[in-house]
Chain A
Amino acid sequence: EIVLTQSPATLSLSPGERATLSCRASQGVSSNLAWYQQKPGQAPRLLIYDASNRATGIPARFSGSGSGTDFTLTISSLEPEDLAVYYCQQRSTWPRMYTFGQGTKLEIK
């Protein structure tokens, strides 16, 4: 079973700052990694798929990188509405199953 470990657990930054969120897999997952954003009281939203591709409608300030076991979600210039918990997720090809990381809470000062 692949385990995803996200760090830090909580990140507190000011508007305009750069946020860097990490996700480490216990074994290689190639580029089969996605990032989701969950704002308070809302369902999650797909941000990044295949490690580095933005989903439809996602602002360009969100970017993803990495492959294998180490992945990063970067928010280049924080906006107040970026307050959320961010989850990484890996998918296995067969059986077709998913695993989420424990999440990183992003606080906006």
Chain B
Amino acid sequence: EADIYQTPRYLVIGTGKKITLECSQTMGHDKMYWYQQDPGMELHLIHYSYGVNSTEKGDLSSESTVSRIRTEHFPLTLESARPSHTSQYLCASSDPGRGKSQETQYFGPGTRLLVL
């Protein structure tokens, strides 16, 4: 398994609270991603970053924000959590390897978020 970590693994929180989901990788990957995944459903890209100080919104609109101050760290923040934010959030990073054809995304274990 790849060296990519997410904390917390599980979070139950009340509506209106501010939360930050942590993601870190020790592989020196420039590219990092956040996906949102509802139970039994496909992953949707919500944010990505191709390097420090570079962040972009993904395919699925999200009220969350991200930052990339350090290569190894890509936290996701919700300023005011709502029940509609209840989901699983997966972080990933990719390795260009020996070229674009060999590039692989490695996934973290995910954070399961429940907003009451």
Are the chains A and B members of one assembly?
no
Binding site for A on B (CB under 8 A): none
